[in-house]
Chain A
Amino acid sequence: MLNARDILETITMIQEENLDIRTITMGISLLDCCDSDIDVVCRRVYDKITTKAKRLVEVGEQIEKEYGIPIINKRISVTPIAIVLAGCLKKEPLKLAQTLERAALAVGVNFIGGYSALVQKGFAAGDRELIESIPEALATTDHICSSVNIGSTKSGINMDAVAEMGRVVRRSAELTADRDCIGPAKLVVFCNAPEDNPFMAGAFHGVGEPDCVINVGVSGPGVVRAALAKAGNCDLTAVADLIKRTAFKITRMGQLVAKEASRRLGVPFGIVDLSLAPTPAVGDSVAYILEEMGLECCGAHGTTAALALLNDAVKKGGVMASSHVGGLSGAFIPVTEDAGMIHAARTGCLRIEKLEAMTAVCSVGLDMINIPGDTPAEIISAIIADEAAIGMINNKATAVRVIPAIGKQVGEELSFGGLLGSGPVMPVNPASPARLINRGGRIPAPLQALRN
């Protein structure tokens, strides 16, 4: 039998500590939409998405109401568009971008992810055309997210793609300079990209996935922080235990919602992504958890250790709560989406070098970081290469989502609105890596790849 304390705890988590389901993401395979005629492909893509996801938003809202748990986003991920494009005689990816945008509007989802290419070992048909079109696709749509996988532990790092992506990120910012450079906020450059990630901007539907699937991403940094605040001065073993217990409860809720959504939509349940995803709302911040653990400010020495403990405890607590765990699963550290990170970046306590170290122990990479508008493409490429190297060597997903603030300098701010938040432009090391980047070629797969 339920007891009153448990019931009130759940209500407090939802009402006061911002516990929510961050996203229900429907993965849809577009492999059966391929054709040599791009217009036929577009028609099939539109029809398939609007058929499969017709009831997604409605069912999400039903569950939200019945269980009393907010579901912030309803989203779709699709097969990487470069693959869908590969068989077309005329490779016109922008037509597909516009088709996805129309489909997103028709079904009412917040985002469609999957304007993507997987080029960790090299470029196949459609890849180059898609990558070239990313800046324009992001500038002319509002609901499309793009990602490119440029490396993996198994295949090494494609440095030609890294060089290209530096230019693509810059160009995306330039084309949207009049809208606070929002373009690159919808573009993620991955190493070891997971194929079942429900979170944007990096979501896409991998080729090994079923035709249609439901993945759920949970959230709840505020709940973890509140639990730690109540616990007071305990040692770090107790802190880890407390985070595990809280993560378990959060994930159980995600599992319930995922199963229910899957049942009502008649679509198989894929995974629950056990992530602590912050929002700019005060009280929904990963940085504040780290500060609650005992740091004066996020970014101080000790931040990496605290984040490592947090990330590991979230996984340990969550993994037993769900039958299938996947996606990124861990703590997110996007700067502009996290009130505590924004504050730490403004005061100068949190710097890009510290964030890079933090990415070695958490689930993502350098995320939502505004950099000076005059940063050359080679430096952006080098930032991407560094992150990819961390991911490749450590067998983990890493990503880069930096936003060159065109026309702005360190200390000025960009504001994207909504969950993407706002934040200061952070300094980057201006020394040139141009010669390294321009060498091109591939960084060979590391010894870690030879595990057979």
Chain B
Amino acid sequence: MRAVITVIGKDMVGILAKVSTICAGHQVNVLEVTQSILQDMFAMIMMVDIEKSDVPFEQFADELTALGNSMGLSIHTMHEDIFNSMHQI
């Protein structure tokens, strides 16, 4: 199963590194990363494979949300199907 991690907020040093560290710590493989600056806001979108994750999805998502809160960023981790179903026929 694949999930999409989105990070939105003010750009700062180490965002990608910190998110990747959490992924690596749980055997979550990063498949693709795109990032852009939209109206002064930093937006990073990461596609990850959570098939081999060593923690339940909820816990993985909560850890990332907590990281976001500590850095003043908004981080959402969602199953990729929600985007597929909304944007692809």
The residues of A with any CB-CB pair to B shorter than 8 Å are 2, 4, 6-11, 15, 62, 65-69, 249, 252-253, 255-256
Contact = CB atoms under 8 A, between A and B. Distances in A.
Interface in B1-55: 4, 6, 8, 34, 36, 38, 43, 45, 47
Given A7-B45, A11-B76, A66-B58, A2 B82 contact: no
Contacts of B70: none
Given A66-B57, A253-B82, A256-B81, 13 more contacts: A2-B83, A7-B6, A11-B76, A65-B57, A65-B61, A66-B61, A66-B78, A67-B79, A68-B78, A69-B78, A249-B86, A256-B82, A256-B85
Contacts of B86: 6, 10, 249, 252-253
A67 B43 contact: no
Given A11-B8, A67-B78, A68-B77, A6 B57 contact: no
Interface string B50-89: 0000000110010000000000001011111111111110
B69 to A, nearest CB: 14
Contacts of A252: 85-86
Contacts of A8: 6, 8, 38, 43, 45
Nearest first, the 5 A-B pairs at minimum CB distance are: A68-B78, A6-B87, A256-B85, A252-B85, A249-B86
Contacts of B74: 15
A68 B45 CA distance: 15
Contact of A6 (B58, B77, B83): B83
A4 B83 CA distance: 10
A2 B58 contact: no
Contacts of B4: 2, 7
A62 B59 CA distance: 12
A148 to B, nearest CB: 37
Contacts of B34: 4
A106 B47 CA distance: 40
8 contacts: A7-B4, A10-B82, A15-B76, A66-B61, A66-B78, A252-B86, A253-B85, A256-B85
A330 B74 CA distance: 33
Among A2, A252, A255, max chain B CB count under 10 A is at A2
A2 B34 CA distance: 11
Contact of A4 (B45, B78, B80, B84): B45
Contacts of B82: 10, 67-69, 253, 256
Contacts of B79: 66-68
Among A15, A66, A252, A256, max chain B CB count under 10 A is at A66
B18 to A, nearest CB: 20
Contacts of A2: 4, 47, 80, 83-84, 87-88
Nearest to B34: A4
A399 B7 CA distance: 45
Nearest to B4: A7
A8 B78 CA distance: 12
Contacts of A67: 78-79, 81-82
A6 B87 CA distance: 7
Nearest to B82: A67
A416 B8 CA distance: 37
A11 B6 contact: yes
